């Protein structure tokens, strides 16, 4: 509904990065918000919505209003007017548009290890911590079972998403590596629910046939070891 010459004061509380108090006495108008794909074409699967806006409305406040309707986090939104991305301006600066587009997109985070190495990754807010560990394994070679991801002094939970954990754009994570011996025990005892503490162990010689000359090494195993555990141990030893 059109609200003429309204004395409009909105207190909008979004994520902690976006606590905004905004007030205006300008005339408001309906603003159509269209959902977009990552390539900025219209996403017909998601219904558009209409918000009350005015020329003085900052784009950052608009993002919070859209977040309340769509649950697309403000820090992941790309607002476009006539196909051009806009930010840090008001709708009046954009010519008082009656329609804007919004799409969620990848944002960058940094992952550091304790050796001082770091790598930038592009993620989506719905990516789980376990999914990020898989990406780190594929990129840096650190086995998933041996990773502990730490953000702002706390360990991240594998089933939670980047949005759940508050991992925003330009966040920095630290990946801590569990020693191989502990990683193997974790894999056996927790993931496969095996108790090998009292089992008699012996040395198993492993020869890698894809090298010339073949690489050979020994592993401590026992009769209760499934082949899946043996494969993990070989992967940890060789990185393959």
CATH topology of domain 8-104: Ubiquitin-like (UB roll) (3.10.20)
Q: Which residues lie closer than 8 Å to 53 by C-beta, 6 or more apart? A: 28, 29, 30, 31, 62, 91
**Average pLDDT value for the chain:** 76
Residues forming CATH 3.10.20.90 domain(s) in the chain: 8-104, 107-177
CATH code: domain 107-177 is 3.10.20.90
Q: Which pLDDT tens digit goes with each residue over 84-133? A: 889 889 999 999 999 999 987 677 899 998 777 888 888 887 889 998 99
Nearest to 59 by CA among 101, 105, 11, 1: 101
Residue 13 in tokens: 């509380």
Q: Which pLDDT tens digit goes with each residue over 159-217? A: 898 888 989 888 999 998 865 444 444 444 444 444 444 557 788 888 877 666 777 88
Nearest to 59 by CA among 41, 38, 80, 36: 80
Q: For residue 14, name the pLDDT band (cuts at 50, 70, 90).
A: very low
**Span 143-155, mean pLDDT?**
89
- Which of these ranges, 53-57, 77-81, 204-208, has the smallest mean pLDDT? 204-208
pTM for the whole structure: 0.45
């Amino acid at each position: 509904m059109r609200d003429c010459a309204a004395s409009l004061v909105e207190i909008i509380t979004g994520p902690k990065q976006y606590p905004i108090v905004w007030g205006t006495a300008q005339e408001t108008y309906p603003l159509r918000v269209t959902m977009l794909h990552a390539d900025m074409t219209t996403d017909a699967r998601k219904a558009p919505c209409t918000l009350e806006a005015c020329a003085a409305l900052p784009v950052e406040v608009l993002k919070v209003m859209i977040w309340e309707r769509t649950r697309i986090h403000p820090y992941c939104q790309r607002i476009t007017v006539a196909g051009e991305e806009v930010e840090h301006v008001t709708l009046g600066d954009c010519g008082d548009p009656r329609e804007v587009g919004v799409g969620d997109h990848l944002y960058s985070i940094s992952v550091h290890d304790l050796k001082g190495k770091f790598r930038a990754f592009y993620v989506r807010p719905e990516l789980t911590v376990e999914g990020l560990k898989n990406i780190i394994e594929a990129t840096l070679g650190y086995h998933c079972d041996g990773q502990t991801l730490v953000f702002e002094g706390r360990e991240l939970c594998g089933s939670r998403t980047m949005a759940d954990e508050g991992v925003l754009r330009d966040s920095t994570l630290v990946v801590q590596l569990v020693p191989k011996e502990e990683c193997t025990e974790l894999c056996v005892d927790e993931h496969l629910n095996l108790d090998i503490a009292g089992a008699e162990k012996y040395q198993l010689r492993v020869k890698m046939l894809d090298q010339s000359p073949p690489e050979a090494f020994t592993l401590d195993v026992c009769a209760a070891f499934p082949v899946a555990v043996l494969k993990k141990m070989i992967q940890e030893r060789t990185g393959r």
